[in-house]
Amino acid sequence: MKKVTLLTSTAAILAALSVPAFAQSEISTGADAAGVTEINDRITDIEEDVTDAFDRDNDADRFGPADRRQGLFGTMSLSYTGRTGNTDNQDLAIGGRVNYNQGVFAQSVGLSIEFGEDDFGNKDQEDIAAIYDAQYYFNDQLYAFALGRINQNGLVDGVRNSDAQTDEDFADEFSDFRTDAFLGFGPGYRILNTQDTTWRVQAGVGVRYTKTGAQEAGFDLVEGPDGELVAVGVGSSSDTSVGYIASSRLYHRFNENIFITNDTDYLGSEDSADVITNEFGVNFRVSEQLATRVSYTSEYQEDRAIRTDNTVGLAVVYGF
């Protein structure tokens, strides 16, 4: 089934708001010095947050792989900033995504690398992250999926990284994750797949691997009898646990102007508390120029004192 374009007038508005990053230069002569550009960039960030909310509800995978671009394609970006004078530091960020779609098989790999140095020449950021997403369609209803992610924080190593790092921050580092990785896979099924209503569910098993700063360093810091921090050996180790994931994506269009979505996700594991999220959204076109999205999100975490948090969201796009 071909993907249906909804809220067509609004889609043009969203496209107009999605300005490429290279276009976000000085909006007028002197705007940088006057501080106008900084505020303009913040306005752009707000616009992108709103368009992202609409894009999630539109759900590119709603009708399967029929309209997916085929072959190998992707994007890469790099950002570097070096400062001297009153401050002396630098930041480097690299991001990229590669997609490979071949018929009923779709794969995507993403990578982000971020490095930074503070005014003392010490590293204050060393983050590397990667994601993997794959789907294989056996037919119009049944498919298999795989999801993977890895986060690596090079600063969580059990070593004091700078003289500016406080004792409290140094102690907290031992409970932070140096490595946090997850890989899950399983089947998915499209229960409904009509022009106006789509509903798919998927569930699977996953493996989570974690290593904290204490495990990386081979020792932990505990409070001694006089309140001082004492190093206690714990050995170099890591934790691996089995996790379970389940998701539901429901979409229904009432008419050309109104559609609703309900997204539910469950994540559980042997050693971690269960997390359940549900987001209900209503999208409607008020006029040719105005589109609105109202959402209600509930997040349940088993290990919290108040286990459920609820959030109401409102996104409005107006073009003229």
Q: How confident is the model at residue 8 (pLDDT cuts 50, 70, 90)?
A: very low
d(CA 283, CA 88): 47
d(CA 150, CA 78): 20
Tens of pLDDT along 217-226?
766 555 666 6
Contact 123, 160 (CB under 8 A): no
d(CA 204, CA 202): 7
Contact 76, 96 (CB under 8 A): yes
Give the model's pLDDT for residue 33.
76
Tens of pLDDT along 104-137?
999 999 999 999 988 877 888 899 999 999 999 9
The residue type of 28 is: S
Give the model's pLDDT for residue 312.
97
Q: How confident is the model at residue 19 (pLDDT cuts 50, 70, 90)?
A: very low
Q: Residue 255's Cα: distance from chain center in Å?
A: 31
d(CA 276, CA 309): 11
Give the model's pLDDT for residue 225.
64
Q: Look at 232 and 95; give whichever has higher pLDDT.
A: 95
pLDDT at 248 over 50: yes
Give the model's pLDDT for residue 124.
83
Q: How confident is the model at residue 229 (pLDDT cuts 50, 70, 90)?
A: low
Q: How confident is the model at residue 304 (pLDDT cuts 50, 70, 90)?
A: confident
